[in-house]
Structure 1
Amino acid sequence: MRIRSFQLSDANQVMELLQLALSEDCYEDTKRAFARQLSWDSELIMIAEVDDEVIGVLIGTIDQNMGCIYRLAVHPEYRRQGVGKNLIAGMEQRFQHRKIYRIFVVGDEHNKEIAPLYEAMGYGASKFLEAFQKLGIAAVHSMS
């Protein structure tokens, strides 16, 4: 498995993966957020691949000197094999390289399903944010 930054040639595979891995509502929200983040900073979109196939994607953003993990999607055949953990670790490194040390997970209804993964990586309830604006996290509060 290789973790790397998004490249424009990944776009079709990423969209197919998002549609396969996410619920319909989550997919609709995520494809808009993906397009916004792509126009802002594609370096904060991480890809996991095996044999040139995109098997995972993590969309992050930076808002007011705070790193936010917005969405994680892993191909169903590759779940519970460390793909999500490797993507999160890669994003953490990317944030640290940019001197961003406060990292939160956007705590919307779609991320609640994978909260145990985030918690296992040290993102307890105090590091989850409930976002009222997708990828423009202007109004947030800690989830308790």
Structure 2
Amino acid sequence: MNDLHIRAADPSDIAAVLGFWQVAAEGTSISDDEQGVARLIARDPEALLLAERDGALLGSVISGFDGWRCHIYRLAVHPGARRQGIAAALLAATEERFVALGGRRADAMVLERNELAHHAWKAAGYGPEEAWRRWTKPLR
């Protein structure tokens, strides 16, 4: 695991990240396009973290902090690299970022149908908060 490198994405990574999400991420987001990822990187250059080994992209996570809440999105690990601690390393980096920014609690977007992910999130100390439900409205 010592050869795993975690770094913030930059604009040159956008195409690779979008391709990676097609292979490694469950579901899609309305922002899964070049403009969406470019906007994220421009707004918060440290939010999109990538895990690499020998130059290969093996994992990603978006660690968004709005000054009030800490939000985790798009935690994904390449199917051929799962169960190697990559998600745990990304979450540790995310949590360190949040603490440094003054965050107090992190929440994660986890698909209900992705039961494999439920096990990983529980192992990392996260759990569903049944009192809340996410409400959404497309803006375009």
Say yes or no: TM over 0.5: yes
Provide the aligned length of Structure 1 versus Structure 2. 132
Structure 1 or 2, whichever has the larger Rg, is: 2
Instruction: For residue 71 of structure 1, report the CA deviation from its aligned partner.
Output: 1.5
Which runs of 5 or more structure 1 residues have no equivalent in the other structure? 135-144
Cα pair distance change 1:59/1:117, threshold 3 Å = same
- What is the distance in 2 between the residues matched to 1:97 and 1:42? 15
Q: 1:34 to 1:108 in 2, by over 3 A?
A: farther
Q: Which residue of the other structure, out of 33, 37, 44, is the alignment partner of 1:41?
A: 44
Shift of 1:45: 0.8
Identity %: 32
Calculate the aligned-residue CA RMSD, in Å. Answer: 2.6
Maintained 8 Å contact 2:25/2:75: no
Distance in 2 separating the partners of 1:18 and 1:27: 8
Q: What's the counterpart of residue 141 of structure 1? A: none
Q: 2:107 aligns to what?
A: 104
Find the counterpart in structure 2 of residue 90 from structure 1.
93
Q: Going by fraction, where is strand more abundant, 1 or 2?
A: 1
CA shift at 1:29, angstroms? 3.6
2:28 aligns with: 27
Shift of 1:8: 1.9
Cα displacement (A) at 1:126: 3.1
- The 2-side partners of 1:36 and 1:54 are apart by 21
The TM-score normalised by the length of structure 2 is: 0.79
**Partner of 2:46: helix, strand, or coil?**
helix
TM-score (norm 1): 0.77
Q: 1:106, CA displacement in angstroms?
A: 1.8
**Alignment partners' CA distance in 2, 1:65 and 1:99:** 9
Unaligned ranges ≥5, structure 2: none
Q: Which amino acid aligns with 2:32?
A: K
